[in-house]
Amino acid sequence: MVGTGTTTTIGCGKMSIRKEGLYIMSLIACEAVGPSHWLYMSSTLARGLQNAVESHQIDPETCPKGIHADAKEFFQRVTRFSDEKQGIPEAVHAYVLAAGVIRASINPRPKTRHELDKRLERFRVMVNSLDRPRRLTVHEIAVIGQLIKFLLRLKREGECERTRSYVESPNYLAIF
């Protein structure tokens, strides 16, 4: 197998083949990320949505483009697992994270997987529509209220994960 510069996907990583025929394994981290990855997005979006609820409208300042792209990516990952029922690592991780956050932040809690999936789909639809300025309906305000609770809990989970990783790092002990 003399390499031709081809790349083969193996699980979450890629195996690159050098021209000299040597195999180089460069495991690229799975796109499965923890809540701290979504910390800034959840914090900024929650604040923007709170302003939208107070003004009863979505406007261009509600959700900056980069935040909107990250929020759409998060809910796309979540619904990819829900729709395909496949073991795609980033989708599984995002779904488990979202399910835990919903159960910890929103009442009444979903009793079935179907109820959970419906709620996540409502959040996805709302997030995808944030680029359309409009007056909010009573229903949209209710969905945004639940989405804000979800985002604030996701932010809290991210802060806890970040603190935990800092405290568990060897550099933390070096301070004392």
Asked if residue 66 and residue 4 are part of one domain, the reply reads no
Mean pLDDT by 10 residues, the chain (176 residues): 36 34 34 71 95 95 92 89 66 84 87 91 96 96 96 88 69 56
If asked whether residues 75 and 155 sit together in one domain, one would say yes
Domain housing 103: 35-170
Task: Give a three-class secondary structure readout of the chain.
Answer: CCCCCCEEEECCEEEEECCCCCEEEECCCCCCCCHHHHHHHHHHHHHHHHHHHHHCEECCCCCCHHHHHHHHHHHHHHHHHHHHCCCCHHHHHHHHHHHHHHHHHCCCCCCCHHHHHHHHHHHHHHHHCCCCCEECCHHHHHHHHHHHHHHHHHHHHHHHHHHHHHHCCHHHHHHC
Co-location of 83 and 165 in the same domain? yes
Number of domains in the chain: 2
| Residue 46 shares a structural domain with residue 26 | no
Asked if residue 23 and residue 39 are part of one domain, the reply reads no
pTM above 0.75, yes or no: no
Residue 25 lies in a domain: yes
Cα angle for residues 120, 108, 135 (degrees, 5° grid):
55
Task: Report which of 147, 120, 146 is spatially closest to residue 63, judged by C-alpha positions.
Answer: 147
pLDDT at 161: 75
Residues 91, 158: one domain?
Answer: yes
Same domain? For 20 and 54 the reply is: no
What pLDDT shows up at residue 169? 63
The answer as to whether 176 is a domain residue is: no
Residue 11 within any structural domain of the chain = yes
Instruction: Give me the pLDDT at residue 87, please.
Output: 59
